[in-house]
Amino acid sequence: MASGKICMFTVINTIITVFIIESHCRLHHLILKDDIRQRVHLNTFGFYKDGSMSISMNSLSFTNGNTNDIDSSTNKAEDTYPLLYKGQIYSFQFYLNITTDEQQGLYNFYFYNCYSMAINQHSSMSDLLTFSIDIDIKEKNPDSYLSAGEIPLPKLYICMSTFFFVIGILWVHVLFTHSADVYKIHWLMAALPFTKSLSLIFHAIDYYYISNQGFPIEGWAVVYYITHLLKGALLFITIALIGTGWAFVKHILSDKDKKIFMIVIPLQVLANVAYIIIESTEEGSSEYGLWMEILFLVDLLCCGAILFPVVWSIRHLQEASATDGKAAINLAQLKLFRHYYVMIVCYIYFTRIIASLIKVIVPFQWKWLYQLLDELATLTFFFLTGHKFRPASYNPYLLLSVEEEDMEMDDVVTTSTAMGEGVKKVKKLSNGPSGERESMA
pLDDT band at 80 (very low <50, low <70, confident <90, very high): low
Contact yes or no for 32/103 (Cβ under 8 A): no
DSSP state of 169: H
Buried b (16+ CB within 10 A) or exposed e, 371-387: bbbbbebbbebbeebbe
Tell me how far apart the alpha carbons of residues 261 and 22 are, in angstroms, rounded to a whole number. 32
Tell me how far apart the alpha carbons of residues 352 and 346 are, in angstroms, rounded to a whole number. 10
Q: Summarize the chain as % helix, strand, coil (round to 5).
A: 55, 20, 25
Tell me how far apart the alpha carbons of residues 103 and 112 are, in angstroms, rounded to a whole number. 23
DSSP state of 362: S
Predicted local confidence at residue 269, as pLDDT: 81
- Tell me the pLDDT tens digit for each residue of 352-364: 888 888 888 999 9
Contact yes or no for 38/100 (Cβ under 8 A): no
**Over 80: is that where the pLDDT of 143 sits?**
yes
**Over 60: is that where the pLDDT of 243 sits?**
yes
Q: How far is residue 239 CA from its own chain's centroid?
A: 16
Higher model confidence: residue 145 or residue 94?
145
Q: What is the pTM of this model?
A: 0.75
Give one DSSP letter per residue of 264-328, joined into a string: HHHHHHHHHHHHHHHHTS-TTSHHHHHHHHHHHHHHHHHHHHTHHHHHHHHHHHHHHHTTSS-HH
What count of other Cβ atoms lies within 10 Å of the Cβ of residue 185? 17
Higher model confidence: residue 420 or residue 205?
205
Tell me how far apart the alpha carbons of residues 324 and 39 are, in angstroms, rounded to a whole number. 65
Q: How far is residue 43 CA from its own chain's centroid?
A: 20
Contact yes or no for 81/16 (Cβ under 8 A): no
Higher model confidence: residue 27 or residue 97?
97
What are residue 39's DSSP bridge partners? 112
Contact yes or no for 5/74 (Cβ under 8 A): no
Tell me how far apart the alpha carbons of residues 91 and 87 are, in angstroms, rounded to a whole number. 11
178 three-class SS: coil
- What is the β-pairing status of strands 131-140 and 415-417? unpaired
DSSP state of 192: H
Average pLDDT estimate for 22-45: 78
214 three-class SS: coil
**Over 90: is that where the pLDDT of 47 sits?**
yes
- Tell me the pLDDT tens digit for each residue of 304-313: 887 887 787 7
Average pLDDT of the chain to the nearest whole number:
76
First-to-last alpha carbon distance for the chain, in angstroms, is: 104
* Domains annotated on the chain, with CATH: 3-140 (2.60.120), 152-397 (1.20.1070.10), 410-440 (no CATH)
- Tell me the pLDDT tens digit for each residue of 154-196: 999 999 999 999 999 999 999 999 888 888 889 999 999 999 9
